[in-house]
Amino acid sequence: MSAADTQNNHDTTGEPTLVGQAGPPAEAMALWYRQPARDWIEALPIGNGRLGGMVFGRVCHERLQLNENTLWDGHRQDTTHPDALSYLPEVRRLLFTGHNAEAEEIARQHLMGNPAGVKSYQSLGDLWLDMAAAATVSDYRRELDLDGGVVRVSYTLDDAHFTREIFASAPDQAIVVRLACDRPGRIDVRLRLTRQQDARCRAGGRRLLLSGQIEDRPEGAAQSLGLTFAACLQAIPEGGTVTAEGEVLQVRGADALTLLLATATRYYGDDPEAHCRAHSDHLQRQPYDRLLSRHLEDHRRLFRRVTLDLGDSPNAALPTDARLAAVQQGGDDPGLVALYFQFGRYLLLSSSRPGGLPANLQGLWNEEMHAPWNSDYHTNINLQMNYWPAEVTHLSECHLPLLAYTAGLIPSGQRTARVHYGCRGFVVHHLSDVWGFTTPADGIWGIWPMGAAWLATHAWEHYAFTGDRAFLARHCYSLMKEAALFLLDFLVEDPQGRLVTCPSHSPENIFRLPDGSTSSFTYGATMDLEILTALFRHCIAAATLLKKDAAFRGQLEDALRRLAPLQISQKTGRLQEWIADYDEPEPGHRHMSHLFGLHPGSQITLRGTPELAQAARRSLEYRLAHGGGHTGWSRAWIVNFWARLEEGEQAYANLKALLQHSTALNLFDLHPPFQIDGNFGGTAGIAEMLLQSHAGEISLLPALPSAWPAGSFTGLRARGGYFVSARWKAGKLESAELQATQTQTCALRVPKGSTVEGVELAGTAVPFERDADPALVRFKTQAGKVYRAVNGPSGRPSANRPHGRTLSGG
Ligand code: FUC
């Protein structure tokens, strides 16, 4: 097997002509197609959080491209620049006096990490299933059943119907492939495991063993420091024979065939080969049906928590690529949006499971040895966006890998904080890897010391949604505090006496200085102030809840009082992105960092800070008027912004643009190239259109577009620990159910045109108060109880039931 073969992504030679038209799969929540993937970006993803595959579904030369999420090039090392701290005062002085170019010059030489970059997450390799050439097959279909987490391929060849099922099992930590046929003895297949580099494959008995070590040899090193890894494929035929021939396994005349793939790397310290062999021994004792049922149970436990119905579509019976094409030509397809939403949830639960690493820039799925941006962890938007849907779409435990990963960065981030800035706490710059990289990378824009702080806001969000105070005390608080300690020490007074971050950036944008030159290097960027405000407020709230650290709390409060404020441009009415009202050479820049306070932050809200919300809106409109949203993640962020501004039509138009311009046939988000953040940001945006809880209220259908006049959702989560379901018709709320997990007062907002006519607990009216704002009601909830809020007139409680007492009207 040559490297050229393994790389030949487009090779469809020997693939048969497809005839006939397979109907849609039984499962409605499925991506499905009438042809195999021509290219990697058309293949269908499976994953168990650690082990992933891209299934091409080819008839005669099936390819599964494989990933294991610990398989990264590089190694753990100290990347700090020992002299950095001695240059910091001069860099600050230069920035405060407007000598940005000179500051940049010094920073490039002395403030960057060494090395100033990370190495790539790599493909594990490929599993190939070669079958005899066929001239024609009929009724071909491949599908990704989201509800079961199974890829299926089926077709008819001559008189026989062939089926394949492929899934990545979390409970059994394996990729499982099942080939079956309705005629006995028809399964003949040659199996190969390959990798472009650093590996070899051996066949023996019924197994293939691929093993190797990434070549990572620093200058002068005698040995590679790269990870060792292994993959073991086991073939279990029913009937027929298996023979090992050199580097391949040949299966002949089987009625059915089960393939079990186990993988391991040395990342967690195991011997990968020994681990794979032992795990294969265990797997081969599990019957296929048992593996499948254990997988289905595990997958559905997470997947089925949320349902979403956005209404019918005339294209519901078409294959996914045809539906996407119709939207790309301007059509509306609410069902495709619901599918996209559930696909986002599927991707998260397939790429991020407790105990493992978080989803990277491509989630889990990467076919390259040198991936775009190394498929790393970018912390100036991308990694965080991956987790925007986690809590609201009820995949809270899938958020834990991010929190654990962030906690794992603390030792390295403390060293960088000390060596580069002389500060306590921990700092993370704009990207990281699995080796604890925390220093500035890539270029001058890498000097952005806010990554840890932003990541730490996720710890609080996890608490806000789950209400898990013990977890807050045990895991979240120290993380938040370490991130805040860094900023407390890092803040300095600017020439006007305001506390600011310095040096920093507004990721990754540039501005024009009064002398006409451009720069990106600055201090007190609006985003920094917003992230810091969010984190400090979270720390104050957590310390108050946990009754600890009064002095620390006082320092945070004091810093917030002295912090440079958010500013609205006198010239343009827009929210200023920087500390001064600079012009922007790239007004449609993909990053919209200064709007962090609007989303994902909550410093800017429509009713709490109307002037800032208006200024944020102007900034957003300006970005959009100049081509903003040209990358997938940028477009997805825009959906969330409009949702927070309660502009359903604008949110929807941008969601549609995400599908039209930034979505591949397999529904992967395209930067381009493939980058998974847009999938997650898009999924979060859809949720944000239907349910919000960032402003101290649960807001139902805050940004419902006219394209979804009727629909329902169940099982979404809101801050305060609520589980929320709702149903609407003709654009008006019919009813909502809130399951409380805490005893507290619930503030519930309904959309324009709807009013709460009653609140019930098990059919009995519950007293509620109507706010001066008629869209808002308040009532007491008790942990474990389910409350139903109904809108009139169709949802009005029947006359023989008492109405809720209202304080003003109702
Ligand atoms: C940041 C973004 C790019 C891309 C990369 C992975 O550098 O500005 O658009 O998303 O991360």
Report pLDDT digits (tens) over 434-484. 999 999 999 999 999 999 999 999 999 999 999 999 999 999 999 999 999
- Check whether residue 574 and residue 497 sit in a common domain: yes
Residues 705 and 562 in one domain: no
Task: Say how many Å lie between the CA of residue 334 and the centre of ligand 1.
Answer: 30
- Does any ligand 1 atom lie closer than 6 A to the CB of residue 96? no
- Best residue among 121, 637, 671, 677 to mutate for probing ligand 1's pocket (most ligand atoms within 8 Å of CB) is 671
Nearest ligand 1 atom, CA 442: 7
**CATH no. for residue 68?**
2.70.98.50
Q: Is residue 321 part of a domain?
A: no
- CA gap 441, 380 in Å, rounded: 12
Residues facing 189 on adjacent strands? 251
- Residue whose structure tokens are 């995400």: 658
In angstroms, what is the span from residue 382 Cα to ligand 1's centroid? 7
Distance CA 772, CA 749 (A): 12
The 8-class DSSP code of residue 595 comes to: G
CATH code assigned at 761: 2.60.40.1180
Confirm or reject: Cβ of 378 under 6 Å from ligand 1.
yes
| 371: in domain | yes
| CA–centroid distance, residue 431 to ligand 1 (Å) | 10
Separation of CA 569 and ligand 1 centre (Å): 27
Whether 720 contacts 774, CB under 8 Å: no
CA 153 to ligand 1 centroid distance, Å: 35
Provide the b/e sequence for 170-192 (b: ≥16 CB within 10 Å). bebbbbbbbbbbeeeebbebbbb
Q: Report the pLDDT value the prediction gives residue 579, as an integer from 0 to 100.
A: 98
* Model pLDDT, residue 792: 63
Q: How far is the CA of 769 from the centre of ligand 1 (A)?
A: 47
Ligand 1 centroid to Cα of residue 508, in Å, is 8
Q: Rounded to the nearest whole angstrom, what is the distance from the C-alpha of residue 145 to the centroid of ligand 1?
A: 31
Domain boundary residue, one of 695, 711, 736: 695
- The answer to whether residue 323 sits within a structural domain is no
Instruction: Decide whether any atom of ligand 1 lies within 6 Å of the 590 Cβ.
Output: yes
The backbone torsions φ and ψ at residue 148, rounded to the nearest 5 degrees and listed phi first, read -105, -15
3-state SS class at 542 = helix
Q: What is the pLDDT of residues 125-157, one digit of tens each?
A: 999 999 999 999 999 999 999 999 999 999 999
Count up the domains in the chain and report the number. 3
Question: d(Cα 328, Cα 442) in Å, to the nearest integer?
Answer: 35
Closest C-alpha residue for ligand 1 atom 8: 508
**Domain-located, residue 12:** yes
Atom index in ligand 1 nearest the CA of residue 445 equals: 7
Which of 675, 676, 679 has most ligand 1 atoms within 8 Å of CB, for mutation?
Answer: 675
Looking at the DSSP assignment, which residues form a beta bridge with residue 555? none
pLDDT at residue number 24: 97
Query: Residue 762 above 80 pLDDT?
Result: yes
Which among 171, 163, 127, 167 has a CA at the least distance from the CA of 146? 167
* Residue 382 near ligand 1, beta carbon < 6 Å: yes
Q: At what angle do helices 648-661 and 677-690 cross, to 10 degrees?
A: 160
Q: In Å, what is the CA distance from 630 to each residue of 658, 664, 743? A: 9, 15, 45
Range of the domain at 572: 84-114+331-695
Q: How far apart, in whole angstroms, are the C-alpha atoms of residue 679 and residue 749?
A: 28
Q: Is residue 313 part of a domain?
A: no
Q: Check pLDDT > 70 for residue 709.
A: yes
Residue 373 CA, closest ligand 1 atom number: 6
* Mean pLDDT across 647-673: 98
The values of phi and psi at residue 392, to 5°, are: -65, -30
Q: In the structure, what pLDDT confidence band is assigned to residue 13 with cuts at 50, 70 and 90?
A: low
pLDDT at 502 exceeding the cut of 70: yes
Which residues, including other chains, have CB under 8 Å from residue 203's CB and lie 6 or more apart?
Answer: 209, 244, 245, 246, 247, 248, 249
CATH assignment at residue 501? 1.50.10.10
Taking residue 515's Cβ as centre, other Cβ atoms within 10 Å add up to 8
Strand duo 786-791 + 756-761: pairing:
antiparallel
Strands 228-238 and 241-245, how do they pair?
unpaired
**For residue 656, what pLDDT is reported?**
98
The verdict on the CB of residue 361 being under 6 Å from ligand 1 is yes
The full DSSP string for 70-101 is T-BSS-------TTHHHHHHHHHHHHHTT-HH
Confidence of residue 95 (pLDDT cuts 50, 70, 90): very high
Contacts (Cβ under 8 Å, ≥6 apart) of 264: 68, 229, 230, 270, 272, 273, 275, 276, 279
Mean pLDDT, all residues of the chain:
95
Tell me which residue has its CA closest to atom 11 in ligand 1: 378
Take residue 557 and report the two structure tokens written for it.
């409060």
What's the pLDDT score for residue 769? 96
Strand boundaries in 408-500, DSSP class E: 431-432, 492-493, 499-500
Q: How far is CA 95 from the centre of its chain?
A: 35
Ligand 1 pocket check for 430: Cβ under 6 Å: no
Query: Do 99 and 25 fall within a single domain?
Result: no
CA of 433 to the centre of ligand 1 (A): 15
Measured from the Cα of 361, ligand 1's closest atom is 6
Q: What angle do CA 380, 386, 390 make, to 5 degrees?
A: 130
671 lines ligand 1 (CB under 6 A): yes
| 3 state DSSP class of 489 | helix
Residue with tokens 């343009």: 572
Task: Choose one of 382, 385, 527, 630 to mutate for the ligand 1 pocket test, by most ligand atoms within 8 angstroms of C-beta.
Answer: 382
In this predicted structure, the answer to whether residue 682 has a pLDDT above a threshold of 60 is yes
CA of 779 relative to ligand 1 center, distance in Å:
44
The dihedral built from the CA positions of residue 744, 747, 750 and 751, taken in this order, carries a sign that is negative
Q: Looking at the structure, do residues 688 and 704 belong to the same domain, yes or no?
A: no
User: Do both 398 and 503 map to the same domain?
Assistant: yes
Same domain, 802 and 717: yes
Contact call for residues 786 and 738 (beta carbons, < 8 A): yes
Question: From its phi and psi, is residue 524 left (phi > 0), alpha (psi between -120 and 50) or beta?
Answer: left
Q: Is the CB of 530 under 6 A from ligand 1?
A: no
CB 631 near ligand 1, within 6 Å: yes
Query: How close is the Cα of 473 to the center of ligand 1, in Å?
Result: 34
Mean pLDDT, rounded, for 348-373: 98
Residue 632 Cα to ligand 1 middle (Å): 10
Exposure class string for 538-564: b at 16+ Cβ within 10 A, else e: bbbbbbeeeeebeebbeebeebeeebb
Closest ligand 1 atom to residue 634 Cα is 9
Q: Compute the distance from residue 376 Cα to the ligand 1 centre, in Å.
A: 11
Q: Is 508 in the pocket of ligand 1 (CB under 6 A)?
A: yes
pLDDT value at residue 651: 98
pLDDT band (50, 70, 90) for residue 794:
very low
CB-ligand 1 contact for 594 (6 Å cutoff): no
Query: Percentage helix, strand, coil, to 5, in the chain?
Result: 35, 25, 40
Of 695, 722, 749, the position where a domain reaches its end is 695
Cross-strand bridge partners of residue 499:
493, 563
Q: Are residues 163 and 98 in the same domain?
A: no
57 and 95 both lie in a single domain = no
Q: Are residues 299 and 386 in the same domain?
A: no
Kindly state if the Cβ of 442 falls inside 6 Å of ligand 1: no
Does the structure show a pLDDT above 70 at 264? yes
Residue 49 lies in a domain: yes
**Per-residue pLDDT at 640:** 99
Closest CA to 303 of 341, 342, 339, 352: 342
CA dihedral over 497, 424, 95, 611, signed as positive or negative? negative
Last residue of a domain, one of 695, 724, 742: 695
pLDDT confidence tier of residue 809, bands split at 50, 70 and 90? very low
Distance 68 CA to ligand 1 centre (A): 23
What pLDDT is attached to residue 791?
A: 83
Distance between CA atoms of residues 235 and 288, nearest Å = 12
Q: Ligand 1 centroid vs 57 CA: distance in angstroms?
A: 31
Minimum-distance ligand 1 atom for the alpha carbon of 631? 9
Does the structure show a pLDDT above 80 at 386? yes
Dist. CA 569–CA 556, nearest whole Å = 27
Looking at the structure, tell me whether residues 647 and 717 fall in a common domain.
Answer: no
747 shares its domain with 717: yes
Using pLDDT thresholds of 50, 70 and 90, give the confidence band for residue 752: confident
| Cβ of 373 below 6 Å from ligand 1 | yes
Ligand 1 midpoint to CA 243 (Å): 48
Please identify, by atom number, the ligand 1 atom nearest to the C-alpha of residue 507: 8
User: Using a 6 Å cutoff on CB, does residue 692 contact ligand 1?
Assistant: no
Specify the ligand 1 atom closest to the Cα of 431.
11
| Alpha-helical runs (H) found in 259-409 | 272-283, 288-303, 320-328, 334-351, 382-386, 388-392, 396-408
Q: Which atom of ligand 1 is nearest to the CA of 372?
A: 6
The torsion angles phi and psi of 155, rounded to 5 degrees, stand at -165, 165
- Point out which residues pair with 4 in neighbouring strands: none
Distance 457 CA to ligand 1 centre (A): 21
| Judgement on whether residues 685 and 777 belong to the same structural domain of the protein | no
What does the pLDDT look like over 149-205, one tens digit per residue?
A: 999 999 999 999 999 999 999 999 999 999 999 999 999 999 999 999 999 999 999
Rounded to whole angstroms, the Cα distance separating 384 from 681 reads 9
For residue 442, give the DSSP letter.
Answer: S
Q: Is 318 a domain residue?
A: no
Both structure tokens of 201: 């494959």
- pLDDT of residue 804 exceeding 60: no
Whether residue 333 has its Cβ less than 6 Å from ligand 1: no
pLDDT of residue 753: 87
Write the pLDDT tens digit of every residue in 517-567: 999 999 999 999 999 999 999 999 999 999 999 999 999 999 999 999 999
> Of all atoms in ligand 1, which is nearest to the CA of residue 376?
6
What's the CA-to-centroid distance between 681 and ligand 1, angstroms? Answer: 14
- The pLDDT tens digits for 389-416 are 999 999 999 999 999 999 999 999 999 9
**Percent of the chain residues topping a pLDDT of 70:** 96
Q: How many Å apart are CA 86 and CA 421, to the nearest integer?
A: 9
Pairing mode, strands 698-700 and 744-749? parallel
Whole-number Å distance, alpha carbon 582 to ligand 1 midpoint, is: 23
Q: How far is the CA of 97 from the centre of ligand 1 (A)?
A: 30
The answer to the question of residue 299 being in a domain is yes
| pLDDT above 90 as % of the chain | 94
Give residue 14's pLDDT: 76
